């Protein structure tokens, strides 16, 4: 029997989108008898009631419903605005990524051109060079620094040889 009455309350039409329950009536400050009257009557009949508490409860629920609808509409509008902003942001991001890719290709081409010009200038075959001209001296300097980590001045002669190799390359 308890299930039937709760099902009947669920099946009763709501007024202004708010379904009146015993708990809502209590929260609105209605006595149990007035809350049960609201549960039994339709919204239009309740507004005709001579009891000011019942009319006030119906009116309050109507205002709450309007406020909820307005707040919901505002949130939906904000959601639409944010969705459009996100879509615009994604579009701008895609454009920026495409532009970055184009710029990177230009930079790569320019760096290859500069490398080729420098290689021609110093008569170097960049693609086929197996060992850098001063690589042997560079390895000696690194090995010396590792061996004499506490006293790097012992590597002075090796560093001078490395520097001389570099000077010879720039003079050529």
pTM of the predicted protein model: 0.34
State both tokens at 39.
């549960």
Q: Tell me if 159 sits within 8 A of 141, measured CB to CB.
A: yes
**What is the SS3 assignment for 148?**
coil
Residues 30 and 54: beta-carbon distance below 8 Å: yes
Q: Are 143 and 152 a contacting pair, CB within 8 Å?
A: no
Q: Torsions phi, psi of 57, nearest 5?
A: -65, -45
Q: Point out the least confidently predicted range of 92-96, 120-124, 133-137.
A: 120-124
pLDDT band at 105 (very low <50, low <70, confident <90, very high): very high
Q: Residues 80-100: pLDDT tens digits? A: 999 999 999 999 999 999 999
Token pair of 161 as six digits? 């040889």
Give me the chain's average pLDDT, please. 76
Residues 6+ apart with CB under 8 A from 49: 37, 41, 55, 58
């Amino acid at each position: 029997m308890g299930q039937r009455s709760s099902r009947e309350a669920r099946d009763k039409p709501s007024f202004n989108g708010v379904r009146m329950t015993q708990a809502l009536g209590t929260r609105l400050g209605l006595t149990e008898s007035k809350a049960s009257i609201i549960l039994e009557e339709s919204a239009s009949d309740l507004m005709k009631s001579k009891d000011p508490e019942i009319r006030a409860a119906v009116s309050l629920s109507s205002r709450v419903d309007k406020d909820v609808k307005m707040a919901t509409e505002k949130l939906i509008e904000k959601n639409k605005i944010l969705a459009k902003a996100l879509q615009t942001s994604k579009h701008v991001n895609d454009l920026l990524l495409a532009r970055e890719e184009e710029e990177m290709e230009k930079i790569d081409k320019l760096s290859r051109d500069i490398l080729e010009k420098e290689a021609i200038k110093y008569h170097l075959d960049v693609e086929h060079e197996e060992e850098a001209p001063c690589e042997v001296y560079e390895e000696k300097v690194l090995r010396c620094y590792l061996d004499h980590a506490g006293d790097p001045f012992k590597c002075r002669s090796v560093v001078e040889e490395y520097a001389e190799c570099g000077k010879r390359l720039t003079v050529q």
